[in-house]
Amino acid sequence: MTLPTLPPVIAAAIEGHGYTTLTDVQSAVLTDEAAGRDLVVSAQTGSGKTVAFGLAMASDLLAGEERLSPARDPLALVIAPTRELALQVSRELAWLYAPAGARIVTCVGGMDPVKERRQLNIGAHIVVGTPGRLRDHLERGAFDLSSLRAIVLDEADEMLDMGFREDLEQILEATPEQRRTLLFSATMPKPIEALARRYQRDALRISTVSQSRGHGDIAYQAITVAPADIEHAVVNLLRFYEAETAILFCATRDNVRHLHATLLERGFAAVALSGEHSQNERNNALQALRDRRAKVCVATDVAARGIDLPSLSLVVHVEIPRDAETLQHRSGRTGRAGKKGTAVLIVPYPRRRRVEMMLRSARIEAEWGQAPGPEVIREADRKRLLERLLATPEIDIDEEADGAPDGDLAIARELLAQRSAEELALMLVRAHRASLPQPEELVASSPERITTQHHRAGFEDTVWFRMDIGRRQNADPRWLLPLLCRRGHVTRGEIGAIRIGMNESFVQIPSGIAARFADAVARTANPDGDDEGSITIAQSNESPRDSARQHRKGQDGPREGGHQGRPEQAARAPYKPRAVLAPREGGHDGPKSPRPPRGPKEGGFKGGPRDVGYKGKPKGPRRKD
């Protein structure tokens, strides 16, 4: 690989890191047209933007020298929106500029600011940090930007969305006019373009975003589930793919905490990542994923940008992203640097239309389907187990006998002496299965089957009975169920769904016992009593949904004795007027003495004689015209 525009020391670092070719965005920033100019770069997530701006500013920092001079004031400043992204940028620039002797200092929230200021006082060639922490150090005089040669705004759109505009403007105002400004972002909304016009000069616009699809290395899938099956679908997806590393995205910290605890109980090696965790906790979680001590990360959108895990191959959107950009940034954690990845959206049935519009907006073609069931997962387990065992290299018994300090061969021979080969193979398979979390049964696979199959046994054919009490009468299943058992001479298991409305309630009774139930409630009725027998229970020809619809629309007109078409409530307690207190003589509540009638005012307004006008003036003759 020949890189004629790069300093030799940086080109050697690229080749030594295993690069055989550069990505599109990395090649674009090294063209003759981009040399020395301000850049506005729009590229897909995972396309190597960090290395790209590291290569772009290499000539400015080295200025023709083989190595950098001893560190003093920073020569380059990189601003990132999140702590995780800033730390990731520092790691990438560290190996890229290590042969040049660069000293890099990272300044992010959550870390010790005193230690950061001490490192800045020693000197740094490149400073990487978040806007708030960099502004704080700048106001305290911890570093001087007068020698700055290049400034990089990484994920600039996210920084503006997070409210860092004022911090960015103050930092940019403190930089010299001769500096080079490199603006990198996955999207280019209007605020980013306005920022570029204000702080850049003759900027070159570079875009390597595909116009046909959001990300070519990511396979998108959308699975429809019942809302109650979301967690079960997550478990089955993790079991089906058995990804080396997976990220599950939730919308809130509470949901992250709940899902993380659920996965730990199920036996998954999982870590959590959200805004409530300290920086040390975040670092430990990411390091556990890199060390393969954990395979699953449950995170909020704080991890949607800047997290680079080479082994990450599965992203699951447990909760639907708020917009198309969030969808792309979340999914962009996989399929990086030419590797393939899978992004799965878990879509509750009522939200399918919204997800379809989001995918269309992001120009993403997703394959719609259903969550894998236990049978599919067990078949995948069988294939993986056979591949894993059959792929084991052949063992030379003689060599194993000579060099087995732990006595593995002796243990194997003892097992064969006591058990047959078939029994040992079966024990091996069972031991493997026991180490895996069990898949979950899903209640349904389509919205139609939910309405027809999600019933208890024996309740496929039911009859609705109506009761003339509802929420206004404090109806509650906890006392309605015993009442129905006593009145209808049935058991709890013979009562189906109970639907409580505002002034009426409905209960499901199997058709086979509907006649017996109706006869029993009729015999136990007591319309004139004050006990539970006064509650009317009768078979209804309409379901709760039909009844509510008719009441809303008023199609059948008002019913007798009811308000807005609702029947009179027999169980309602009769109205009891308040007791009237007797008036106290001479007291505050005593009767008031009648006011004597007013006499007419002489010459006054409203009471004077007709021939006297306002303020006692005589009236003149009326005009007849």
Q: Which 8-state DSSP code applies to residue 590?
A: S
Q: Predicted confidence band at 116 (pLDDT cuts at 50, 70, 90)?
A: very high
Looking at residue 53, its pLDDT comes to 92
Range in 256-265, 306-315, 409-418, 615-624 with the lowest mean pLDDT: 615-624
Tell me the pLDDT tens digit for each residue of 411-453: 888 888 888 888 888 888 888 777 788 888 876 544 444 444 4
- Assess whether pLDDT exceeds 60 at residue 405: no
Question: How far is residue 500 from each of residues 469, 541, 581, measured CA to CA in Å?
Answer: 8, 17, 40
Looking at residue 558, its pLDDT comes to 46
The alpha-helical segments, DSSP class H, found in 404-446 are 408-418, 421-434
- Assess whether pLDDT exceeds 70 at residue 487: yes
- For 222, list phi and psi in degrees, rounded to 5: -125, 120
Contact 270, 238 (CB under 8 A): no
Query: What percent of the chain shows pLDDT beyond 90?
Result: 31
Q: What are the boundaries of each domain within the chain?
A: 8-207, 218-373, 455-553
The pairing of strands 462-467 and 537-539 is: antiparallel
Tell me the pLDDT tens digit for each residue of 232-257: 999 999 999 999 999 999 999 999 99
Contact 79, 154 (CB under 8 A): yes
Looking at residue 552, its pLDDT comes to 63
Query: What percent of the chain shows pLDDT beyond 70?
Result: 79
Tell me the pLDDT tens digit for each residue of 488-515: 888 888 888 888 888 899 998 988 889 9
Q: Among 254, 255, 257, which residue's Cα sits nearest to residue 272?
A: 257
Looking at residue 404, its pLDDT comes to 54
Q: Among 241, 256, 239, 232, which residue's Cα sits nearest to residue 319?
A: 256
Looking at residue 438, its pLDDT comes to 84
Q: Is the domain defined by 8-207 classed in CATH 3.10.129.10?
A: no
Q: Where are the beta strands (DSSP E) in 226-311?
A: 245-249, 270-273, 296-299
Q: Predicted confidence band at 185 (pLDDT cuts at 50, 70, 90)?
A: confident
User: What contacts 309, CB < 8 A, 6 or more positions away?
Assistant: 245, 247, 286, 289, 290, 333
Range in 95-104, 343-352, 368-377, 536-545 with the lowest mean pLDDT: 536-545
- Assess whether pLDDT exceeds 60 at residue 622: no
How far apart CA 31 and CA 11 sit, in angstroms, is 15
Q: Predicted confidence band at 583 (pLDDT cuts at 50, 70, 90)?
A: very low
Q: Among 39, 285, 292, 74, which residue's Cα sits nearest to residue 183?
A: 39
Contact 207, 193 (CB under 8 A): no
How far apart CA 445 and CA 569 sit, in angstroms, is 42
The pairing of strands 218-225 and 367-370 is: parallel
Tell me the pLDDT tens digit for each residue of 117-131: 999 999 999 999 999
Judged on CB neighbours under 10 Å (0-12, 13-18, 19+), 363 is: middle
- Assess whether pLDDT exceeds 90 at residue 93: yes
296-299 sheet: strands from edge to edge:
270-273, 296-299, 245-249, 312-317, 341-348, 218-225, 367-370
- Assess whether pLDDT exceeds 90 at residue 343: yes
Q: Where are the beta strands (DSSP E) in 300-453?
A: 312-317, 341-348, 367-370
How far apart CA 42 and CA 196 sit, in angstroms, is 13
Q: Predicted confidence band at 604 (pLDDT cuts at 50, 70, 90)?
A: very low
The mean predicted confidence, pLDDT, of the chain is: 80
Average pLDDT over residues 305-315: 80
Looking at residue 323, its pLDDT comes to 85
Coil, helix or strand for 224? strand
Looking at residue 586, its pLDDT comes to 45
Tell me the pLDDT tens digit for each residue of 141-161: 999 999 999 999 998 888 887
Average pLDDT over residues 334-355: 86
Say which residue the tokens 């708030």 belong to: 132
Computed on alpha carbons and rounded to an integer, the radius of gyration of the chain in Å comes to 39
Contact 73, 101 (CB under 8 A): no
Give the sign of the dihedral formed by CA 525, CA 527, CA 533, CA 534: positive
Looking at residue 20, its pLDDT comes to 81
Q: Among 233, 218, 220, 221, which residue's Cα sits nearest to residue 369?
A: 221
Question: How far is residue 223 from each of residues 65, 234, 317, 345, measured CA to CA in Å?
Answer: 56, 11, 10, 6
- Assess whether pLDDT exceeds 80 at residue 619: no
Question: How far is residue 137 from each of residues 4, 160, 164, 167, measured CA to CA in Å?
Answer: 38, 20, 15, 12
Looking at residue 306, its pLDDT comes to 62
Q: Predicted confidence band at 346 (pLDDT cuts at 50, 70, 90)?
A: very high
User: Identity (one letter) of the amino acid at 503?
Assistant: N
Looking at residue 49, its pLDDT comes to 86
Host H or E run for residue 286? helix 279-290
Contact 257, 272 (CB under 8 A): yes
CATH number of 455-553: 3.30.70.330
Q: Contacts by 538-545 with C-beta closer than 8 Å and gap 24+?
A: 538/465, 538/466, 539/463, 539/464, 539/465, 539/466, 539/514, 540/464, 540/465, 540/466, 540/506, 542/464, 543/464, 543/506, 544/464, 544/499, 544/501, 544/506
Q: Predicted confidence band at 394 (pLDDT cuts at 50, 70, 90)?
A: low
Token duo for residue 290: 């890199």
Looking at residue 397, its pLDDT comes to 59
Contact 480, 498 (CB under 8 A): yes
Q: Among 276, 270, 282, 281, which residue's Cα sits nearest to residue 234?
A: 270
Is 455-553 in the same CATH topology as 8-207?
no
Query: What is the CATH topology of the domain spanning 218-373?
Result: Rossmann fold (3.40.50)
How far apart CA 192 and CA 188 sit, in angstroms, is 6
Looking at residue 74, its pLDDT comes to 94
Contact 543, 518 (CB under 8 A): no
Question: How far is residue 210 from each of residues 44, 49, 187, 492, 526, measured CA to CA in Å?
Answer: 8, 15, 12, 61, 76
How far apart CA 118 and CA 510 sit, in angstroms, is 78
- Assess whether pLDDT exceeds 90 at residue 311: no
Coil, helix or strand for 622? coil
- For 242, list phi and psi in degrees, rounded to 5: 50, 50
Highest mean pLDDT among 100-104, 184-188, 510-514, 587-591: 100-104
The secondary structure of 175-202, three-state, reads CCCCCEEEEEECCCCHHHHHHHHHHCCC
Tell me the pLDDT tens digit for each residue of 203-228: 999 987 655 445 568 899 999 988 88
Average pLDDT over residues 27-43: 89
Average pLDDT over residues 583-594: 46
Range in 317-326, 548-557, 581-590 with the lowest mean pLDDT: 581-590
- Assess whether pLDDT exceeds 80 at residue 591: no
How far apart CA 173 and CA 177 sit, in angstroms, is 9
Host H or E run for residue 225? strand 218-225
